[in-house]
Amino acid sequence: MTSPTPPLRPVVVLGSINTDLVVRAPHFPRPGETLHGSDFAVIGGGKGANQATAAARLGAPVQFIGAVGADDFGTRRIEEMAAAGVDVAAIARVADSPTGVAFITVNAHGENTIIVAAGANWRVTEQDISGTMLAMAAGGVLVAQLELPLETVAAGLARARAAGLTTLLNAAPSTAAARNLLHHVDILVANEVEAGDLAEWASTVTKENAVDVSARLRARGPHTVIVTLGAAGAIVATGTRTILIPAPRVPVVDTTGAGDCFTGAFAAAIVGGAEIDAAARRAVSAASYSTTIFGATTGMPTTEQLDAFLRASGTG
């Protein structure tokens, strides 16, 4: 008689929820320039919501801690996240702040520029982090980013680690003050710019020097450092090895949310029992898939979509 499969431990996301107002343009406008755009869309976003959606679509049980305004955008974002399978019970409705908004321009190469008005995200405090939720999530993963007040992120990381969760920080958007959080972090995920800022690295971070940058960051606290390199893939550094995971080549439509897709997919794989390297490989493929679709959450794959993509790309 086989033993029953133990239930998955949850991914707890402490993070931001935004409404993305996205428009395509031939290029980014210069100061004073007016462009004719196309493909305008209103899409759920925010790094926290994106990562939660990515993890939930890939089969992880996901709980979310955050806030939206008492407005239509907030209602829609909660409904969308719940439909994706995210537990939204701990999302607060803030009466005197609007739901966060991001204004995104996507150029002809799929690159983007983003301006964020944080709104209700900036009202999330340590008091919103349920100790009971963390205690029941022991053995799972807490995922945090830097779109909430840093003192809230610091409290969440410290309390989650004390409760027995693995702490994962996606150090985005970049801020030098995040260096003070690293001693609370088990797994750090950062892109080239963010990793360079955190490590106080004087030159541009590339796949050639990312090993040295990762070593400097590991010395500041995290046992695992992952530097995402866009189309080049990701560097994964642990105490015993450093590897480069290349990304499959895909026709890029929109890179918005690709880093969030990586983080959410990685967390989902970890709570599913995958080792660090295997989880990172799956996350690289998920992020690559997401760039083939316009919009952030719209590009987050389900398990079936990702498995089909892996077979088609020869990496599954």
58, 279 contact by CB (below 8 A): no
Burial tier of 127 (Cβ tally within 10 Å: 0-12, 13-18, 19+): exposed
Distance CA 168, CA 143 (A): 5
pLDDT band for position 268 (50/70/90)?
very high
Does the annotation count 260 as an active-site position?
yes
Distance CA 159, CA 140 (A): 13
Which residue in the list 254, 260, 277, 307 is annotated as catalytic? 260
Q: How many other C-beta atoms lie within 10 A of the C-beta of residue 177?
A: 9
pLDDT band for position 303 (50/70/90)?
very high
Query: What are phi and psi for residue 132, nearest 5 degrees?
Result: -65, -45
* Least confident window among 47-61, 160-174, 175-189, 201-215: 201-215
What's this model's pTM, rounded to 2 decimal places? Answer: 0.91
Dump pLDDT digits (tens) for 85-136: 999 999 999 999 999 998 989 898 888 888 989 999 999 999 999 999 999 9
pLDDT averaged over every residue in the chain = 92
Distance CA 168, CA 174 (A): 15
Domains and CATH numbers, the chain: 11-17+46-100+120-313 (3.40.1190.20)
Return the ∠ at Cα 97 (arms to 92 and 103), rounded to 5°: 105
Mean pLDDT along residues 24-42? 91
